[in-house]
Amino acid sequence: MMKKILLMLAAALAVAAGGARAAGGGIAWDKFPVERVTDLAALQNGAKLFANYCLNCHGAEFMRFNRLRDIGLTEEQIAANLVFTGAKVGDTMKVALSAQDGKAWFGAQPPDLTVIARSRSAVGMGTGADYIYTFLRTYHRDDTKATGWNNAAFPNVGMPHVLWELQATQSQTQYNDTVADLVAYLQWMSEPVQTDRVRLGVWVLLFLGVFTVIAWRLNAAFWKDVK
């Protein structure tokens, strides 16, 4: 299990580092709208996009389908709308594509996406979420490539433009929102408890602030008669 986690992290960092090198060549990463990570509607739409467009080639082997209850979906909704491979709702999000086929079709095995949004640029260009948000919005036609597509954020990438139909039928603003929802889901999936952690952190800081005031007043009261 530990070996699998390390390999997955290595793949995620390799993707981010590749994007960082590409960005270093002239393209700036756009800022992912982080507020969407707390928007349940955005997360639910992102989960649908992930299941329909990403899960064919990329797995998320450390995320179970039923964890999506945390973003407001019922097990019935998950089973009816997001599970297409005969898997059970309690199963992890594995992909049927073999490593051999992935390498043959794309030049490398598509990486697991469980923590891809948590990876960061090796040169300080931004977060993994910023990179993915930029990457999915900078595909362009290139007939010299086997897939017919190239990418400004990651030139010569082997991954085809899986969202091309959406980009072709949506306005630029709508497509930006679509990509933002997908990236929000990837960000949430990388750490499902992050919103709870942030909320708990706020309460802890408030408690510490109140406790500090009380301790300061008690200290003053204790030493007031000491000369």
Q: How do residues 13-51 score in pLDDT, each as one tens digit? A: 444 445 444 444 558 999 999 999 999 999 999 999 999
Question: Does the pLDDT at position 7 exceed 60?
Answer: no
Alpha-carbon span 214 to 117, nearest angstrom: 41
H helices of the chain, in order, are 2-24, 40-49, 75-81, 99-106, 128-135, 164-169, 172-190, 194-223
Give the pLDDT score at 3. 41
- Domain residue spans of the chain: 2-192, 195-227
Alpha-carbon span 163 to 136, nearest angstrom: 8
- Report the 10 Å Cβ neighbour count for 68: 27
**Superfamily of 2-192 according to CATH:** Cytochrome c-like domain (1.10.760.10)
Give the pLDDT score at 95. 87
The answer to pTM > 0.75 is yes
Average pLDDT over residues 87-98: 89
Give the pLDDT score at 195. 66
Q: How far is CA 110 from the centre of its chain?
A: 15
